[in-house]
Amino acid sequence: MKINGDTLIKIIKLGRPMFLFDGFLLFIMGTLLAILFNAEFSLTKFIMGYSILLLCHMAVHYSNDYYDFKTDSLSGPSTVSAGSGILPENPQLKEFSKRFAVVLIFLSVGLAAVFTVIFSYPIEFLLLAVFGNFLAWFYTAPPLKLAYNRLGEFSNALYGILLPSAGFFTLMGSLTVPMLLFTVPLAFSRLFLTNSANIPDMEGDKLGGKITLVVANGRKFGFKFIGISAFMMTISFGLISFTGFYPSILNFKVLTFISLIPLSLGLIGLLKMPSDRELATKYATFNIKSIFLIGLLINSYFIFLILS
């Protein structure tokens, strides 16, 4: 396949850069939390650790677009849906997308193995990378096809745990109970994000055989679940503050307040519950942008604490 400038742009779009940014925010969140727990910052570890995650995260998008070719073709374009929309218009890139995903997975796991050896990290670091790439491939790939068998939302909730944990592990050298507890509200944020992204694709996903919560129960139920997910995220942040596991400078009231942004949007969607695709997509778009925003705000708050 000849790769010119136009083809290269399409290949980049296949990687869904907007959602890669979301993963970057979660990884940074984990590294910043590690620093708040007195981990020493290492630029080498940070770059290598994020490269492992980036390769895995990119693999998700390239393999998903390959295996979601039918459903994406039926759904039609949307700025917030799970597919890039590139392959239905450029089917000549379909095989490339699959093969590139495989290459990315091998690079991710290989780099994780090198990282583990160089820094004498426990084998759990490598296993975390292997598990993340396992989810990346089998999210849509057979035989598991998690997103097609009512496990897509659960898989994405796991990413709310894995991505920040990877950042924390990269600098701290281990996972701790406070870190894992911190990922609980982040897992709910993934449910909020995933179901919002599934809202525009309901018709195409249904025709393509993908069984999401939105497909199985309709958009109105989807908005109910989105609202509940936002509520649980806020409640989780509030309850964590009572554990006493965290540095005294970390005020969870601030994090709880920040989480009110998606909660407000979730409650609006819960009240309106639009079933029309065009209107529902507008609500879903605001939901997704709010998750990016709170990621920026939480990281900004962590940086403020570190620099204070």
Residue at 6 is within a domain = no
Residue at 2 is within a domain = no
pLDDT for 8: 81
Contacts for 260 with CB less than 8 Å, ≥ 6 apart = 234
Residue at 129 is within a domain = yes
Residue at 28 is within a domain = yes
pLDDT for 150: 87
Residue at 38 is within a domain = yes
CA 238, CA 251: separation in Å to the nearest integer? 10
Report phi then psi at 275, rounded to 5: -100, -20
Q: Domains in the chain: how many in total?
A: 1
Residue at 4 is within a domain = no
Q: Which residues span the domain enclosing 149?
A: 15-307
Structural contact between residues 168 and 179, judged by C-beta atoms closer than 8 angstroms: yes
Containing 194, the helix (H) or strand (E) segment is: helix 177-198
pLDDT for 81: 61
Residue at 224 is within a domain = yes
Residue at 9 is within a domain = no
Per-residue pLDDT of the chain (308 residues; tens, 9 = 90+): 566 677 888 888 888 887 789 899 999 999 999 999 999 999 999 999 999 999 999 999 899 888 888 777 776 555 566 567 788 888 888 899 999 999 999 999 999 999 999 999 999 999 999 999 999 999 999 999 998 888 989 999 999 999 999 999 999 999 999 999 999 999 999 999 999 999 998 988 888 888 899 999 999 999 999 999 999 999 999 999 889 899 989 999 999 999 999 999 999 999 988 888 889 999 999 999 999 999 999 999 999 999 98
pLDDT for 82: 52
